[in-house]
Amino acid sequence: MTVTDLILLHPPSIFRFRELPCFLGPVSDVIPSTAVFEGYPIGFMTLSEYLTGHGIEVRIVNLALKMLRDPSFDAENFTAGLSARAFGIDLHWLPHVDGCLCLAEQLKRQHPKVPVIVGGLSATYFRDELMREYPAIDFVLCGDSTEEPLRLLMEAIRNGGGFGQVPNLVWRDNGRVVDNGISWHPDTLDHVRYDYSHIFRMLVRYRDPVGYLPYVNWLEHPVLAVFTCRGCLHDCSTCGGSSSAFSTNCTRSKPAFRSPALLVEDIAVIAGYTGAPIMIIGDLLQTGSGYAEAFFSAIRRHRITNELAFEFFNPPSQHFVELLNNSVENFNAELSPESHDLRVRSAFGKNYDNRELEASLDALVASNCKRIDLFLMVGLPFQDYASVMQSVAWCGELLERYGRSGKLLPMIAPLAPFVDPGSRIFQTPEAMGYRLFYRTLGEHRRAMLMPSWKQRLNYETNWMSRDEIVAATYDSAAAMIHLKESHGLVSKTAAGEIKDHIVRARRVVELLDTAGPISPELAREIHQLNGLDTLCGKHELDWRIIGKRYHLFRCITALLRDRI
Ligand code: B12
Ligand code: SF4
């Protein structure tokens, strides 16, 4: 059996999600993954590419996706058959806490001599607890940029020592936990490659296409992402990726930006292989207009026809929309005003009014922009049930005004399951009008294993209890789907299905509150609902594929390049 240097594994959120009757709830309706959160961190790709380039063999295994796709897939047998010098598991998103810990324990049982490394934003936040309470974990590698630290750690593992010299590492020295401190946080994001052809070559090398897929229906609806930065300049109050969270958690004082020229190259490389849509993560306007202008002047030199989705923290000005329109052939805009109510929006961390937003919508609707996604949230500061419902009514007004263009698509979803660790609200909940039910990693693991998504929520607010958050979520989603149906944005059949799922989901939440032990019928209903959309149809998220889904010739060339 060949030994791989490092196997990076992505667990499901709840390890035994196929057996346990846990109603996952509407936590993933507006993202591509399912509620099992099978999407692995994009960092797996940069880590694999970087280490491979330094002669370290890395394999990625999306275990969550394997378990999701095939009910008979035996995760225990599979990991028993793996052979590696080290295993790496992500605890990037806190909802993976149970999956990560179960997988670490399983690997340690099966391969007691092989070190288990955990990394990601949540692992960084809970590094002390991880090392104190979970002996299955040998190393926590902290911070937002671990490519070079991981290379050094792999070297130390090979040499059997020198762990004290690895930056960002927490380890045990004869049982004593040692935290080396987070000193590795590069100033730019130019030292890594977002090279999807690397993934393609690796999946062929390990003959494991499923193990490399990013989410369950990616082959039918592929979306790729490029990254403007690690970190964020903004400071949204619930966000564990905000400027203050990155500063306390990752000792990062400012985001690491990718140079506009490299960002365009990332896009051009993807466009060479596929006509799939590309999401540009991180607002181009974050540092002012200079970055965006450099990006546009670089992208104009290419002929990219893929649909590019741009996210905006603030509504873009008419001038900016014109620039975008003149530089990019097909584009979408992602805006998250969160609420119609300025008090709520500003307490969340965004300070613009509805007039500014409407001026932006005017410009976007008049431009070639293909679609404008508008995201609203439930569970915010100063937001009560009535305010949530008024947000939907406001979307109705916007649809009256812009609906005919067919471009505007509003969506509403709860802040769930967790207020992010490291966020301003997580750090000082009472000061922000919040009450946290769970604080430690262990408490969040127990929360993830609770039967209902209501019990899993780690917060309630001065303005809404958990019951009200659930009620506002379902009522606003029902009102929103009705709106979209009446504006012809979704079919009557699709809207009918969502409404039916909402009724069933509410009933399950109620039964889990009031009924005693979970009956087999209720367990069956829970498992069915976990696979269904409850707030909006997943297909509403689909962006267009322009031209060929895959440029086969170029894909084959990429493969051959590896063999030469
Ligand atoms: C883009 C993004 C997404 C994308 C996915 C991107 C992806 N595949 O990585 C989408 C939109 C799908 C998404 C979804 C979700 N997201 Co998100 N996302 C982001 C965002 C905006 C940027 C992420 C980023 O820049 N990553 C770059 C760096 C930091 O991570 P990375 O390169 O992947 O990994 C590096 C390190 O983290 C570390 N590392 C990671 N894993 C491992 C493992 C090992 C072994 C090692 C050694 C190192 C290591 O090393 C890597 C390379 O240096 C952040 C906010 C922010 N400003 O960061 C939120 C953020 C990460 N997301 C968050 C959340 C909560 C979610 C969801 C759970 C939300 C939900 N309820 O639906 C889902 C989970 C989806 C899933 N797993 O299937 C929270 C996480 C807070 C927390 N601590 O739990 C954040 C911080 C903020 C937020 N609320 O959006 N997200
Ligand atoms: S939610 Fe706010 S703070 Fe968090 S990544 Fe997005 S813009 Fe930045």
Our count of domains for the chain comes to 2
Establish whether residue 423 lines the binding site of ligand 2, counting it when its CB lies within 6 angstroms of any ligand atom: no
Establish whether residue 264 lines the binding site of ligand 2, counting it when its CB lies within 6 angstroms of any ligand atom: no
Confidence at residue 27, expressed as pLDDT on a 0 to 100 scale: 97
User: Is residue 167 located within the same domain as residue 256?
Assistant: no
Residue 19: Cβ within 10 Å count: 10
What pairs with residue 279 in β-bridges?
225, 309
- Residue-number span of the structural domain to which 143 is assigned: 4-179
CA neighbor of 24 nearest in space, from 535, 542, 539: 535
Q: Give CA separation, 397 vs 408, 478, 484, 487, in Å.
A: 12, 17, 12, 11
d(CA 202, CA 157): 23
Four-residue CA torsion sign, 400, 405, 406, 410: negative
User: Is residue 154 located within the same domain as residue 232?
Assistant: no
| pLDDT band for position 558 (cuts 50, 70, 90) | low
Confidence at residue 544, expressed as pLDDT on a 0 to 100 scale: 75
User: Is residue 92 located within the same domain as residue 233?
Assistant: no
Nearest atom in ligand 2 to 239's CA: 4
Q: What is the pLDDT of residues 208-227, one digit of tens each?
A: 999 999 999 899 889 999 99
**Ligand with smallest separation from the Cα of 213:** 1
Establish whether residue 415 lines the binding site of ligand 2, counting it when its CB lies within 6 angstroms of any ligand atom: no
Confidence at residue 564, expressed as pLDDT on a 0 to 100 scale: 36
What average pLDDT does the segment 443-455 reach? 98
Q: What is the pLDDT of residues 300-347, one digit of tens each?
A: 999 999 999 999 999 999 999 999 999 999 999 999 999 999 999 999
Buried b (16+ CB within 10 A) or exposed e, 459-491: bbbebbebebbbbbbbbbbbbbbbbbbebebbe
Confidence at residue 2, expressed as pLDDT on a 0 to 100 scale: 80
CATH number (domain holding residue 99)? 3.40.50.2300
User: Is residue 175 located within the same domain as residue 227?
Assistant: no
- Alpha helices (H) along 251-353: 260-273, 289-299, 318-327, 342-348
User: Is residue 457 located within the same domain as residue 361?
Assistant: yes
User: Is residue 400 located within the same domain as residue 531?
Assistant: yes
Q: Which two tokens stand for residue 15?
A: 């390890």
Q: Which two tokens stand for residue 256?
A: 């690491």
Establish whether residue 231 lines the binding site of ligand 2, counting it when its CB lies within 6 angstroms of any ligand atom: no
| Count of alpha carbons within 13 angstroms of residue 83, beta-carbon side | 4
Among 156, 179, 202, give the residue marking a domain's end. 179
Q: What is the pLDDT of residues 252-284, one digit of tens each?
A: 999 999 999 999 999 999 999 999 999 999 999
User: Is residue 108 located within the same domain as residue 239?
Assistant: no
Residue 553 alpha carbon to ligand 1 centre in Å: 33
User: Is residue 142 located within the same domain as residue 269?
Assistant: no
Q: Which amino acid is at 66?
A: K
Residue 168: Cβ within 10 Å count: 28
What average pLDDT does the segment 28-51 reach? 97
Q: Interior CA angle at 519 toward 515 and 520, to 5°?
A: 155
Please indicate, yes or no, if residue 536 is contained in any of the structural domains. Answer: yes
Residue 124 alpha carbon to ligand 1 centre in Å: 12
Please indicate, yes or no, if residue 215 is contained in any of the structural domains. Answer: no
Confidence at residue 25, expressed as pLDDT on a 0 to 100 scale: 97
CATH number (domain holding residue 456)? 3.80.30.20
Q: What is the pLDDT of residues 44-77, one digit of tens each?
A: 999 999 999 999 999 999 999 999 999 999 999 9
| 255 prior amide bond cis, ω within 30 | no
Residue closest by Cα to atom 2 of ligand 2: 236
| pLDDT band for position 561 (cuts 50, 70, 90) | low
Nearest atom in ligand 1 to 39's CA: 78
Residue 41 alpha carbon to ligand 1 centre in Å: 6
CA neighbor of 525 nearest in space, from 18, 137, 21: 21
pLDDT at 20 over 70: yes
- Cβ(352)–Cβ(387) below 8 Å: no
Nearest atom in ligand 1 to 232's CA: 57
Probe target for ligand 2 pocket from 93, 228, 242, with the most ligand atoms within 8 Å of CB: 242
Q: What is the pLDDT of residues 487-545, one digit of tens each?
A: 999 999 999 999 999 999 999 999 999 878 999 999 999 999 999 999 988 777 777 77
- Cβ(154)–Cβ(51) below 8 Å: yes
pLDDT at 175 over 60: yes
User: Is residue 300 located within the same domain as residue 405?
Assistant: yes
User: Is residue 149 located within the same domain as residue 262?
Assistant: no
pLDDT averaged over every residue in the chain? 95
User: Is residue 255 located within the same domain as residue 388?
Assistant: yes
Please indicate, yes or no, if residue 554 is contained in any of the structural domains. Answer: no
What average pLDDT does the segment 549-560 reach? 63
Q: Which amino acid is at 305?
A: T
Residue closest by Cα to atom 88 of ligand 1: 239
Residue 178 alpha carbon to ligand 2 centre in Å: 32
